[in-house]
Amino acid sequence: MLHIILLDCALELVPREISSLKQIQKHATRRGKKPFELLLDQTHHGQSMTKLPDSERRGRPDITFLSLMSILETPLCKEGLLVVHLHLQDGRIVEVQPDVRLPRNYDRFVGLVEQLLLEGRVPPQGDALLHVTGDSLEDLMSKIKQGSNASTIILAIEGGQKTSIEILQGLFPQDPSIPVIVGVGAFPHGNLAEETASMFEDHLELDREVMMAWHVCSEVLWTYSQRVGVINSRYGATG
Ligand SMILES: C[S@@+](CC[C@H](N)C(=O)[O-])C[C@H]1O[C@@H](n2cnc3c(N)ncnc32)[C@H](O)[C@@H]1O
């Protein structure tokens, strides 16, 4: 099973410290919401965000959106061999149901995440498609490893061990029952906290240049799919 953890997702509601600024107030009025009910977004709040600490790492929900679009509903997902987890910058973890069909439209995705961050789950009643768990990243990783005496834990990171696709494929176990965890940063600039990076055993650089998070997710997903035989098995007897 492949677990992709989107690390330090740039996904949060507008913080109170900038909620009274004119740009935010105007956007809230346009959306018919209160300022603190809005998802922080560089596109709409760039000027106000300059007042926030670490602003270059924040307010980019599109990174999480495009990463989820790249990996959900793929053959690996349909075979039940992929789980995606979101790790927020405040340390909370969001569980994503593997069979979730997220809106293709970005504005609708934003509305969904606003509800998730306000209510802790989506939808508010019934089976949750997305929900904020009480786990930390460390808890999540121990739960994934629990009950298995082997696991592969990789962080995709610039400056890591230079790794070709063939080498990456060889690092993945062929047996899909062995848990594989791959961490990919879902923030635009800056570095992962050392504390987060140190939870991952292998640090791999997958290209000599920086890649978009959703390209990294796709590369990992398709390489793993090939390794565990999902791509070939989908044609099976029908050839
Ligand atoms: C746009 S980058 C974030 C930039 C940030 N400077 C960093 O070091 O993480 C998004 C994420 O994609 C992954 N990534 C980007 N380029 C990579 C590369 N060449 N090799 C491996 N992972 C990469 C990393 O997980 C990174 O956090």
- Residue 148 in this model has a pLDDT that exceeds 80: yes
% of the chain with per-residue pLDDT over 70: 98
pLDDT of residue 231: 87
pTM here is 0.96
Please tell me the total number of residues recorded for the chain in this structure: 239
Q: Ligand 1 pocket test: which of 157, 205, 218 has the largest number of ligand atoms within 8 Å of its C-beta?
A: 157
Q: Ligand 1 pocket test: which of 191, 199, 210 has the largest number of ligand atoms within 8 Å of its C-beta?
A: 210
For 100-110, how does the pLDDT look when each residue is reduced to its tens digit (9 = 90+)? 999 999 999 99
For 184-201, how does the pLDDT look when each residue is reduced to its tens digit (9 = 90+)? 999 999 999 999 999 999
Q: Which CATH superfamily is domain 2-11+58-106+128-236 in?
A: SPOUT methyltransferase, trefoil knot domain (3.40.1280.10)
For 108-133, how does the pLDDT look when each residue is reduced to its tens digit (9 = 90+)? 999 999 999 999 999 999 999 999 99
Q: For ligand 1, say whether the CB of 168 is within 6 Å of any of its atoms.
A: no
Give the domain ranges of the chain: 2-11+58-106+128-236
Q: Which helix (H) or strand (E) holds 230?
A: helix 230-233
Q: Under 8 Å CB-to-CB from 180, ≥6 apart: which residues? A: 1, 2, 3, 151, 152, 153, 154, 172, 173, 224
